[in-house]
Amino acid sequence: MRFDIITIFPKIFDSWVSESIVKKAIDKGLIQIITHDIREHALQPHRSVDDTPYGGGAGMVMRPEPIVECVESIPLNGRCRRILLTPQGEPLKQPKVKKLAEFDQIMLICGRYEGVDERARKIIADEEISLGDYVTAGGEMPAVILMEAVLRLIPGVIGNNRSLEEESFEGDLLEYPQYTRPEVFRGEKVPDILLSGHHAEIANWRRQKAIERTKERRPDLVDKSSKKG
């Protein structure tokens, strides 16, 4: 899969692409991550890509010309999805992540300032995605999170695919509690069932704990699951 990141701060991504599973996936040829600097398409002096909003108001707005030209200059690679990261977008959920993992190319458009000129939004994006009901300084960090969520679902990126099946939000449940060595830590012992070796009973325990944790922390997911049934 190819990720194209459209941004005015391409260097933000340098450390992320050189670490952990991201670097391994790149080295294996499983993914490509390419940044594109919107300022290279600026028409204004000093490579400015923003201007004051018509009608007045605080802050600046990203001009349409540079960002549209930047997006349109990127070659398409198979099935492509162009996404604008914005608080106004659809909240990102795991089912959406799974759908995005089926594309050959994802363009992630990182807005800044007070947002992107409305005329440009209609041209550059197939959809708009938000990570939650809060505002960040720009779309760069949301882009990183979206990419990491998607690339983990690409075959070969994660060593043990079974771990993907047991994660939070699979089946609308949060993940069950996890334990490792030592067996006793500060007076708290690992639950006996996990030391029993009875795999069916362990599976049942984990399922029950996942349900309990979801009811406690995310009752909205339990309600959603009930409606599906």
The pLDDT score that the predictor gives to residue 75 is 97
Span 56-98, pLDDT tens digits: 999 999 999 999 999 999 999 999 999 999 999 999 999 999 9
- Give Cα separations from 118 to 51, 68, 122, 139, 178 (angstroms): 13, 11, 7, 16, 46
Looking at the fold, whether 120 and 7 belong to one and the same domain comes out as yes
Among candidate residues 139, 137, 169, 132, the one with its CA nearest the CA of residue 152: 169
CA distance 190 to 187: 10
Token representation of residue 14: 């340098």
Q: What is the mean pLDDT of residues 143-159?
A: 95
Q: Does residue 106 belong to any structural domain of this protein?
A: yes
- What confidence tier does 16 reach under pLDDT thresholds 50, 70, 90? very high
Taking residue 64's Cβ as centre, other Cβ atoms within 10 Å add up to 19
The dihedral sign for the CA sequence 49, 52, 58, 62: negative
Looking at the fold, whether 125 and 76 belong to one and the same domain comes out as yes
Percent of the chain with pLDDT over 70: 93
- What confidence tier does 215 reach under pLDDT thresholds 50, 70, 90? very high
3-state DSSP assignment of residue 7: strand
CATH number where 23 lies: 3.40.1280.10
- What confidence tier does 19 reach under pLDDT thresholds 50, 70, 90? very high
Q: ω into residue 155 within 30 of 0, thus cis?
A: no
3-state DSSP assignment of residue 36: strand
Q: Which residue has the tokens 């349109």?
A: 72
3-state DSSP assignment of residue 125: coil
Looking at the fold, whether 48 and 124 belong to one and the same domain comes out as yes
Residue type, 66: P
Looking at the fold, whether 98 and 189 belong to one and the same domain comes out as no
Q: Which residue has the tokens 């099946």?
A: 165
Looking at the fold, whether 97 and 42 belong to one and the same domain comes out as yes
Task: Note down the domain range covering 211.
Answer: 166-228
pLDDT at residue 161 is higher than 70: no
Given phi > 0 = left and psi -120 to 50 = alpha, else beta, which region is 220?
alpha
CATH number where 177 lies: 1.10.1270.20
CA distance 25 to 166: 22
Looking at the fold, whether 51 and 77 belong to one and the same domain comes out as yes
